[in-house]
Amino acid sequence: MTVSRLSLGDFRSYADAVVAPGRGFIILTGENGAGKTNLLEAVSLLSPGRGLRGASLAEMARRGGEGGFSVAARLGDVDIGTGTAPGAPERRQVRINGAPASANSLSEWLSVLWLTPAMDRLFAEPASGRRRFLDRLVLALRPDHAMHSARYEAAMRARNKLLAEESPDAEWLTALEARMTEHGAAIAEARAAAAAALGGRLAAAPEGPFARAGLQLAGGDEPDLGRALALGRSRDAAAGRTLAGPHRTDLVVTHLGKDQSASLCSTGEQKALLIGLILAHADLVAERSGRRPILLLDEIAAHLDPLRRAALFERLAGAGGQVWMTGTEPSLFAGIGGEATWLAVADGAVKSR
């Protein structure tokens, strides 16, 4: 599934924009700050979550606009739209073929994966960033993962709030913990299965221009979560948060070729690990689901040497699917073969190059 039409209204730097991308590569070029990443962010909103920046919905509305924003896309014969209305900046609305739908249902229609310069810090930042990255990978394989995650988080927030009361209702706590246990088990199983499948694929792959990553999950896997939550009520009340459960899982990545933690690798090696991981996962998703995810690669070419850049373009062209890439200069993408849509971005407008 690919985006054949993308329209934006009062989104970020765009008052009104329409893009008609083709299949294959979508190359967006322009000066820094021109709005290239804003277009990638719009595409990322066609899946559950807050997009590739993780921003609040209110931040996405154009300054000087009426307060809301819209992102709409045509996928084959399906129309998808999302955004917010003026006066409700943090209430996301989703429509599929004109009918109201939940944000989580978007994963049934489209898988989107991305790499941005901010993700270069993935192996040095707290576990929460790697957990979000892991969940994006899982979601591409398990569309119901977003639902389980949302219900687990809602139950956990309600439990934390209840524990802060002077005399919390024990029966209500038990009910919330049962809900956390149910959805937590589904989350843990989906993460473990995805990490095992992707890790196995990477381990069996031949050496290439992009480093192979080893994957392991650490923490958050309680053999009896319900019992751990019940026994930990006093501790969690004192801490003001829940200290057991899959919300504490970390993704541990190693450089297989060097048998070294990714956190100890050079910046270039970490970038190569991430690229190799995303490419392998896109192949896995295509194999399992029969549809290749859309890839959003922000400023990817500028951070690769010519050899790896050529290898990346060759692999992406051979794999097929829709790949959106940004860069400051068209020359960065001179080695691209196959189908490509070239777009110039400047001053809140997008034009064919």
pLDDT band, very low/low/confident/very high, at 45 (cuts 50, 70, 90): very high
Where in the sequence is the domain holding 130, given as residue range(s)? 119-290
Predicted TM-score of the model (pTM) = 0.92
In a domain, 239, yes or no: yes
Does the structure show a pLDDT above 80 at 81? Answer: yes
In a domain, 56, yes or no: no
In a domain, 330, yes or no: no
In a domain, 114, yes or no: no
Please give the C-alpha separations between residue 291 and each of 82, 251, 274, 294, 295, in angstroms, as whole numbers: 22, 26, 21, 9, 12
For the chain, the domain total comes to: 1
In a domain, 110, yes or no: no
Residue 163 belongs to a domain with what CATH number? 1.20.1050.90
Amino acid identity, position 116:
T
d(CA 128, CA 74): 33
Express each pLDDT in 116-174 by its tens digit.
Answer: 999 989 999 999 999 999 999 999 999 999 999 999 999 999 999 999 999 999 999 99
H helix intervals, the chain? 36-44, 57-60, 127-141, 145-163, 170-204, 225-231, 233-239, 267-289, 306-319
Express each pLDDT in 229-255 by its tens digit.
Answer: 999 999 999 999 999 999 999 999 999
